[in-house]
Protein backbone atom coordinates (compact mmCIF):
# COMPACT_ATOMS: atom_id res chain seq x y z
CA UNK A 1 0.00 0.00 0.00
CA UNK A 2 1.24 3.47 -0.84
CA UNK A 3 1.19 5.85 2.11
CA UNK A 4 3.21 8.94 1.17
CA UNK A 5 3.83 11.83 3.53
CA UNK A 6 3.87 14.94 1.32
CA UNK A 7 5.85 17.99 2.32
CA UNK A 8 4.16 21.05 3.75
CA UNK A 9 4.01 22.75 0.36
CA UNK A 10 2.19 19.84 -1.25
CA UNK A 11 -0.30 19.73 1.60
CA UNK A 12 -0.99 23.44 1.20
CA UNK A 13 -1.44 22.88 -2.53
CA UNK A 14 -3.94 20.10 -1.81
CA UNK A 15 -5.91 22.44 0.44
CA UNK A 16 -5.93 25.11 -2.27
CA UNK A 17 -7.14 22.55 -4.84
CA UNK A 18 -9.90 21.35 -2.53
CA UNK A 19 -11.19 24.88 -2.03
CA UNK A 20 -10.89 25.76 -5.72
CA UNK A 21 -12.66 22.57 -6.78
CA UNK A 22 -15.51 23.22 -4.36
CA UNK A 23 -15.85 26.74 -5.74
CA UNK A 24 -15.80 25.47 -9.33
CA UNK A 25 -18.58 22.96 -8.62
CA UNK A 26 -20.54 25.60 -6.68
CA UNK A 27 -20.30 27.96 -9.66
CA UNK A 28 -21.62 25.18 -11.86
CA UNK A 29 -24.60 24.70 -9.55
CA UNK A 30 -25.33 28.43 -9.30
CA UNK A 31 -26.06 28.70 -13.00
CA UNK A 32 -29.61 28.31 -14.30
CA UNK A 33 -29.21 24.56 -13.94
CA UNK A 34 -32.14 22.22 -13.46
CA UNK A 35 -31.70 19.97 -10.42
CA UNK A 36 -33.84 17.32 -12.12
CA UNK A 37 -31.35 16.87 -14.99
CA UNK A 38 -30.26 13.25 -15.17
CA UNK A 39 -26.57 12.33 -14.89
CA UNK A 40 -25.50 10.47 -18.07
CA UNK A 41 -25.09 6.72 -17.58
CA UNK A 42 -26.41 6.95 -14.01
CA UNK A 43 -29.64 6.95 -12.02
CA UNK A 44 -29.01 10.14 -10.03
CA UNK A 45 -30.05 13.63 -10.99
CA UNK A 46 -27.80 16.67 -10.69
CA UNK A 47 -29.68 17.61 -7.52
CA UNK A 48 -29.06 14.20 -5.97
CA UNK A 49 -25.38 14.22 -6.93
CA UNK A 50 -24.94 17.70 -5.48
CA UNK A 51 -26.74 16.73 -2.26
CA UNK A 52 -24.54 13.64 -1.99
CA UNK A 53 -21.42 15.81 -2.30
CA UNK A 54 -22.62 18.13 0.46
CA UNK A 55 -23.30 15.19 2.78
CA UNK A 56 -20.00 13.51 1.89
CA UNK A 57 -17.99 16.68 2.49
CA UNK A 58 -19.69 17.16 5.84
CA UNK A 59 -18.74 13.57 6.72
CA UNK A 60 -15.13 14.14 5.64
CA UNK A 61 -14.92 17.38 7.62
CA UNK A 62 -16.10 15.55 10.74
CA UNK A 63 -13.53 12.79 10.19
CA UNK A 64 -10.77 15.36 9.73
CA UNK A 65 -11.79 16.97 13.01
CA UNK A 66 -11.47 13.63 14.82
CA UNK A 67 -15.16 12.70 14.97
CA UNK A 68 -15.81 9.02 14.26
CA UNK A 69 -18.76 8.39 11.95
CA UNK A 70 -19.83 5.07 10.49
CA UNK A 71 -20.75 5.00 6.80
CA UNK A 72 -21.12 1.52 5.37
CA UNK A 73 -18.51 -1.19 5.84
CA UNK A 74 -16.23 -0.38 2.91
CA UNK A 75 -17.98 -2.65 0.40
CA UNK A 76 -19.58 -1.21 -2.73
CA UNK A 77 -23.04 -2.48 -1.74
CA UNK A 78 -22.89 -0.96 1.75
CA UNK A 79 -21.66 2.39 0.44
CA UNK A 80 -24.45 2.49 -2.16
CA UNK A 81 -27.01 1.74 0.56
CA UNK A 82 -25.56 4.41 2.85
CA UNK A 83 -25.69 6.93 -0.01
CA UNK A 84 -29.35 6.22 -0.73
CA UNK A 85 -30.29 6.32 2.96
CA UNK A 86 -28.56 9.67 3.48
CA UNK A 87 -30.22 11.19 0.41
CA UNK A 88 -33.64 9.96 1.51
CA UNK A 89 -33.12 11.49 4.96
CA UNK A 90 -32.09 14.88 3.54
CA UNK A 91 -34.39 16.00 0.70
CA UNK A 92 -32.73 19.38 -0.01
CA UNK A 93 -32.28 19.78 -3.78
CA UNK A 94 -32.06 23.56 -4.23
CA UNK A 95 -28.81 23.92 -6.15
CA UNK A 96 -27.94 27.31 -4.66
CA UNK A 97 -28.36 25.98 -1.13
CA UNK A 98 -26.31 22.91 -2.05
CA UNK A 99 -23.55 25.05 -3.60
CA UNK A 100 -23.25 27.03 -0.37
CA UNK A 101 -23.17 23.85 1.71
CA UNK A 102 -20.50 22.26 -0.47
CA UNK A 103 -18.17 25.23 -0.05
CA UNK A 104 -18.87 25.52 3.68
CA UNK A 105 -18.06 21.88 4.45
CA UNK A 106 -14.95 21.94 2.26
CA UNK A 107 -13.72 24.98 4.18
CA UNK A 108 -14.44 23.11 7.42
CA UNK A 109 -12.43 20.14 6.20
CA UNK A 110 -9.42 22.31 5.33
CA UNK A 111 -9.61 24.16 8.65
CA UNK A 112 -9.59 20.86 10.55
CA UNK A 113 -6.89 19.34 8.35
CA UNK A 114 -4.51 22.26 8.90
CA UNK A 115 -4.48 21.43 12.62
CA UNK A 116 -4.26 17.65 12.21
CA UNK A 117 -1.26 15.34 12.02
CA UNK A 118 -0.96 14.29 8.37
CA UNK A 119 0.13 10.79 9.42
CA UNK A 120 -2.72 10.30 11.91
CA UNK A 121 -4.95 7.27 11.17
CA UNK A 122 -8.53 7.90 10.07
CA UNK A 123 -11.39 5.40 9.71
CA UNK A 124 -12.75 6.44 6.31
CA UNK A 125 -15.76 4.98 4.46
CA UNK A 126 -13.31 2.90 2.39
CA UNK A 127 -11.18 1.73 5.30
CA UNK A 128 -8.26 3.01 7.39
CA UNK A 129 -6.01 5.64 5.86
CA UNK A 130 -3.88 8.55 6.98
CA UNK A 131 -5.25 12.05 7.38
CA UNK A 132 -3.26 13.11 4.31
CA UNK A 133 -4.76 10.37 2.16
CA UNK A 134 -8.21 11.45 3.37
CA UNK A 135 -7.66 14.86 1.72
CA UNK A 136 -6.70 13.17 -1.55
CA UNK A 137 -9.83 10.98 -1.20
CA UNK A 138 -12.02 14.06 -0.76
CA UNK A 139 -10.54 15.71 -3.87
CA UNK A 140 -11.02 12.52 -5.91
CA UNK A 141 -14.62 12.21 -4.78
CA UNK A 142 -15.46 15.82 -5.62
CA UNK A 143 -13.83 15.65 -9.03
CA UNK A 144 -15.67 12.45 -9.96
CA UNK A 145 -19.10 13.84 -9.18
CA UNK A 146 -18.16 17.28 -10.46
CA UNK A 147 -17.30 15.67 -13.80
CA UNK A 148 -20.68 13.93 -13.83
CA UNK A 149 -22.61 17.12 -13.18
CA UNK A 150 -20.61 19.11 -15.72
CA UNK A 151 -21.41 16.49 -18.37
CA UNK A 152 -25.08 16.49 -17.44
CA UNK A 153 -25.26 20.29 -17.63
CA UNK A 154 -23.03 20.48 -20.73
CA UNK A 155 -20.55 22.73 -18.99
CA UNK A 156 -16.72 22.62 -18.85
CA UNK A 157 -15.42 20.22 -16.22
CA UNK A 158 -13.01 21.19 -13.43
CA UNK A 159 -10.37 18.46 -13.75
CA UNK A 160 -6.86 19.43 -14.78
CA UNK A 161 -3.49 17.70 -14.70
CA UNK A 162 -2.39 18.86 -11.26
CA UNK A 163 -5.70 18.09 -9.60
CA UNK A 164 -5.59 14.61 -11.10
CA UNK A 165 -2.02 14.14 -9.80
CA UNK A 166 -3.11 15.10 -6.29
CA UNK A 167 -5.68 12.29 -6.43
CA UNK A 168 -2.92 9.74 -7.00
CA UNK A 169 -2.11 9.04 -3.30
CA UNK A 170 -5.71 8.01 -2.68
CA UNK A 171 -6.12 6.08 -5.92
CA UNK A 172 -2.99 4.01 -5.28
CA UNK A 173 -3.91 3.41 -1.64
CA UNK A 174 -7.41 2.30 -2.67
CA UNK A 175 -6.30 -0.21 -5.34
CA UNK A 176 -6.20 -3.22 -2.98
CA UNK A 177 -9.63 -2.29 -1.58
CA UNK A 178 -11.35 -2.08 -4.96
CA UNK A 179 -9.64 -5.13 -6.46
CA UNK A 180 -12.06 -7.52 -8.15
CA UNK A 181 -10.63 -10.77 -6.81
CA UNK A 182 -12.63 -12.89 -9.23
CA UNK A 183 -11.25 -10.94 -12.19
CA UNK A 184 -7.70 -11.01 -10.82
CA UNK A 185 -7.94 -14.76 -10.15
CA UNK A 186 -4.50 -16.37 -9.98
CA UNK A 187 -2.81 -13.54 -11.85
CA UNK A 188 0.94 -13.35 -11.24
CA UNK A 189 1.99 -10.10 -12.92
CA UNK A 190 3.88 -6.94 -11.96
CA UNK A 191 3.03 -3.63 -13.59
CA UNK A 192 4.95 -0.36 -13.60
CA UNK A 193 2.54 2.58 -13.49
CA UNK A 194 3.15 6.26 -14.14
CA UNK A 195 1.57 9.50 -15.30
CA UNK A 196 2.73 11.25 -18.43
CA UNK A 197 5.09 14.12 -17.63
CA UNK A 198 5.55 12.94 -14.03
CA UNK A 199 8.81 11.12 -13.16
CA UNK A 200 7.32 9.15 -10.27
CA UNK A 201 6.69 5.45 -10.88
CA UNK A 202 4.75 2.85 -8.91
CA UNK A 203 4.63 -0.93 -8.87
CA UNK A 204 1.40 -2.92 -8.79
CA UNK A 205 2.19 -6.58 -8.13
CA UNK A 206 -0.62 -9.15 -8.48
CA UNK A 207 -0.27 -12.49 -6.74
CA UNK A 208 -2.66 -14.95 -5.09
CA UNK A 209 -5.77 -12.90 -5.81
CA UNK A 210 -4.39 -9.72 -4.22
CA UNK A 211 -2.43 -6.67 -5.35
CA UNK A 212 0.37 -4.80 -3.56
CA UNK A 213 1.12 -1.22 -4.60
CA UNK A 214 4.50 0.29 -3.72
CA UNK A 215 6.34 3.50 -4.71
CA UNK A 216 9.16 3.25 -7.22
CA UNK A 217 9.58 1.13 -10.32
CA UNK A 218 9.93 -2.61 -9.61
CA UNK A 219 13.18 -4.43 -10.36
CA UNK A 220 11.33 -6.73 -12.73
CA UNK A 221 8.22 -5.56 -14.59
CA UNK A 222 6.00 -7.39 -17.05
CA UNK A 223 4.29 -4.28 -18.41
CA UNK A 224 4.79 -0.52 -18.09
CA UNK A 225 1.73 1.70 -18.48
CA UNK A 226 2.07 5.48 -18.76
CA UNK A 227 -1.24 7.35 -18.84
CA UNK A 228 -2.18 10.99 -19.32
CA UNK A 229 -3.14 12.31 -15.87
CA UNK A 230 -6.78 13.28 -16.38
CA UNK A 231 -7.40 10.07 -18.32
CA UNK A 232 -5.89 8.00 -15.49
CA UNK A 233 -8.29 9.58 -13.01
CA UNK A 234 -11.34 9.12 -15.23
CA UNK A 235 -10.51 5.47 -15.94
CA UNK A 236 -9.92 4.82 -12.23
CA UNK A 237 -13.34 6.31 -11.45
CA UNK A 238 -15.05 4.32 -14.19
CA UNK A 239 -15.84 7.48 -16.19
CA UNK A 240 -13.73 6.67 -19.24
CA UNK A 241 -13.21 3.57 -21.36
CA UNK A 242 -9.58 2.44 -21.52
CA UNK A 243 -10.17 1.36 -25.11
CA UNK A 244 -11.08 4.87 -26.22
CA UNK A 245 -8.12 6.24 -24.26
CA UNK A 246 -5.74 3.92 -26.11
CA UNK A 247 -7.28 4.91 -29.43
CA UNK A 248 -6.74 8.59 -28.61
CA UNK A 249 -3.11 8.04 -27.64
CA UNK A 250 -3.72 8.78 -23.95
CA UNK A 251 -2.14 5.49 -22.84
CA UNK A 252 1.27 4.10 -23.78
CA UNK A 253 2.43 0.59 -22.86
CA UNK A 254 5.58 -1.46 -23.36
CA UNK A 255 7.62 -4.21 -21.73
CA UNK A 256 7.98 -7.98 -21.91
CA UNK A 257 4.18 -8.41 -22.03
CA UNK A 258 2.69 -5.12 -23.29
CA UNK A 259 -0.65 -6.77 -24.15
CA UNK A 260 -1.35 -6.93 -20.40
CA UNK A 261 -2.05 -3.18 -20.41
CA UNK A 262 -5.48 -3.73 -21.96
CA UNK A 263 -6.68 -5.91 -19.08
CA UNK A 264 -5.30 -3.86 -16.16
CA UNK A 265 -8.43 -1.71 -15.59
CA UNK A 266 -10.67 -4.82 -15.61
CA UNK A 267 -9.17 -6.02 -12.32
CA UNK A 268 -10.81 -3.21 -10.35
CA UNK A 269 -14.37 -2.14 -9.56
CA UNK A 270 -14.92 1.48 -8.54
CA UNK A 271 -17.34 1.73 -5.57
Mean pLDDT across the stretch 229-248? 89
Q: Is the pLDDT of residue 3 over 60?
A: no
- Of 4 and 14, the one with more pLDDT: 14
Span 124-178, pLDDT tens digits: 999 899 999 999 999 999 999 999 999 999 999 999 999 999 999 999 999 998 9
What is the reported pLDDT for 75?
83
Model confidence at 1: pLDDT above 50: no
Does pLDDT of 99 surpass 70?
A: yes
Residue 124: which of 82, 90, 184 has the closest Cα? Answer: 82
> Confidence band (pLDDT; 50, 70, 90) for 8?
low
Long-range (24+ apart) CB contacts under 8 A made by 161-164 are 161/197, 161/229, 161/230, 162/13, 162/17, 163/17, 163/21, 163/139, 164/195, 164/229, 164/230, 164/232, 164/233
d(Cα 186, Cα 104) in Å, to the nearest integer? Answer: 46
SS3 assignment, position 207: strand
206, containing H or E segment: strand 201-207
- The pLDDT value recorded for residue 190 is 97
Q: What is the pLDDT of residue 2?
A: 45
At 176 the pLDDT is 92
Q: How far apart are CA 264 and CA 242, in angstroms?
A: 9
- Single pTM value for the model: 0.93
Q: Write the DSSP assignment of 90-149 as a string of letters.
A: -----HHHHHHHHHHHHHHHHHHHHHS-TT-EEEETTEEEEHHHHHHHHHHHHHHHHHHH
Distances (CA, A) of 233 to 89, 147, 194: 31, 11, 12
Planar angle of CA 181, 220, 197, nearest 5 degrees: 85
What is the mean pLDDT of the segment spanning 225-253?
A: 91
For residue 248, what pLDDT is reported? 87
**pLDDT tens digits, one per residue of 109-128:** 999 999 998 888 999 999 89
pLDDT value of position 249: 87
Task: Please give the full DSSP string across 6-75, using - where no structure is assigned.
Answer: --HHHHHHHHHHHHHHHHHHHHHHTSS--TTPBPTTSS-BHHHHHHHHHHHHHHHHHHHTT-------SS
| CA–CA separation, 137 and 196 (whole Å) | 21
**pLDDT (average), residues 1-23:** 77
45-58 pLDDT tens trace: 999 999 999 999 99
Evaluate if residue 28 carries a pLDDT over 50: yes
Burial 115-148 (b: 16+ CB within 10 A, else e): ebebeeebebbbeebbbbbbbbbbbbbbbbbbbb
- Over residues 77-100, mean pLDDT: 96
pLDDT for residue 200 is more than 70: yes
Taking the CB of residue 42, how many other CB atoms lie within 10 A of it? Answer: 13
Quote the pLDDT of residue 42: 92
Rounded to an integer, the average pLDDT of 207-223 is 95
| Structural domains present in the chain | 8-166 (1.20.120.450), 175-267 (3.30.1050.10)
* Strand-strand pairing, 189-195 and 223-227: parallel
Q: What pLDDT shows up at residue 73?
A: 86
pLDDT of residue 9: 66
Distance of CA 80 to the CA centre of its chain: 16
Q: What is the DSSP code string of 246-265?
A: HHTT-EEEESS-GGGGGTGG
Amino acid sequence: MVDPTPDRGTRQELHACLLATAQDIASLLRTDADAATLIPDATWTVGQAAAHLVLANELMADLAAGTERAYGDGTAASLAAANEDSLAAWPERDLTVLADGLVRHTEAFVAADVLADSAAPVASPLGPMTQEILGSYLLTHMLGHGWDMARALRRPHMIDRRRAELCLPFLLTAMPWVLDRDAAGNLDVTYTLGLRGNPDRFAAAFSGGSVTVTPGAPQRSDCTIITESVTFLLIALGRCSPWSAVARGKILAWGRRPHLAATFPTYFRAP
